[in-house]
Amino acid sequence: MAQDATTRTRTESDSLGSLEIPADAYWGIHTARALENFPISQRPISVYKDLVVALAMVKQASARANLEIGVLDTERATLIDRASQRVIDGEFHDQFVVGVIQGGAGTSTNMNANEVITNVALEMAGREKGDYAFLSPIDHTNRSQSTNDVYPTAVKIAVINATHDLIAAMGDLQEAFAAKAVEFHDVLKMGRTQLQDAVPMTLGQEFGTYALMIAEDRTRLREAVMLLHEINLGATAIGTQLNAPNGYV
C-alpha cells in the first residue's frame, strides 16, 4: 500500500508489471490498463445500466453453475453470487469505468466486471481489495468463461431487459392513442396524400391507426426478442467449449 499527501493506493500486478490502483477503487489493474490503452471515449460503460446489470447476471449464473458442478467451492461461489447481486441491485455501477469504445471485443469490459465483483466479494469477506490469492477475478469470477461468450450473452440479456421496458412503454402509448381515437371519433379533418389535401376522414380514425401501428410493432418486438434467448455461455473463446468443464453447459 502506497500513500502520499493526497492519494492512498494499493499495488496490483499482472504479466506486464505492477501499477498503483486507488485504494478505494473496486476495479483493478486490468481496468487500469484499459483506461491507459483506450483513452478514446469519455463515456464509461456505466452509462448503460442494463449492460452492467446483465454482466453481473452472467457472473452470478456462472458462479452458481461452477458451484453445482464442483469446480468452485461454496465459500467463493457464494461470495461471487452475493457480490453480483449487489451490482444487479444497482450498487457499484460507478466502478464500471472503461470507455464504451475499446479494442479487444469487450475484454476490458469483462475484466472491469470481474474485478469489481471480485473486490466487492473480498470486502464482504472481510479481506482487502486486491487479495486475489484468495479470490481471483480470472481464476474464480471468470471461471469457465471467455469474453467471447460473456460479452455477447450480456448484450443479449441487456437488450431483452430493455425491450421489456420498451414494450411496456409502447403499451401506454398505444392506450393513449386508442383513447384519443374514441375522443375524436366525430371530429372531421382532411386526409392528405402526395403533400396535398385528399379526402375527408375523422381525427379519431387517424389516432386509431396510430394505435394499431404501435400494437403491431409491439407484436414484432416480442417475436424478435425471442431470438435473443439463445445465448453464448459455455461456448467460450471460439464456440468449441474449450476450458468449459463438463456439466457447465
pLDDT over threshold 80, residue 126: yes
Q: Given this chain, do its domains 2-143 and 146-249 carry the same CATH topology?
A: no
Q: What is the pLDDT of residue 5?
A: 42
**Domain locations in the chain?**
2-143, 146-249
Give the Cα separation of 55 and 93 in Å (integer). Answer: 11
Q: What is the pLDDT of residue 24?
A: 97
CB 158 within 8 A of CB 148: no
Single pTM value for the model: 0.89
- Segment 102-128 shows an average pLDDT of 96
Note the pLDDT tens digit of each residue in 39-64. 998 899 999 999 999 999 999 999 99
β-strands 17-22, 188-193 pairing = unpaired
Q: What is the pLDDT of residue 1?
A: 56
Q: What is the pLDDT of residue 104?
A: 85
In angstroms, the Cα distances linking 213 to 18, 96, 134, 199 are: 58, 38, 56, 21
Residue 7 pLDDT level (bands cut at 50, 70, 90): confident
DSSP 14: E
One-letter amino acid identity for 100? V
CATH topology of domain 2-143: Fumarase C; Chain B, domain 1 (1.10.275)
β-strands 2-3, 8-14 pairing = antiparallel
CATH topology of domain 146-249: Fumarase C; Chain A, domain 2 (1.20.200)
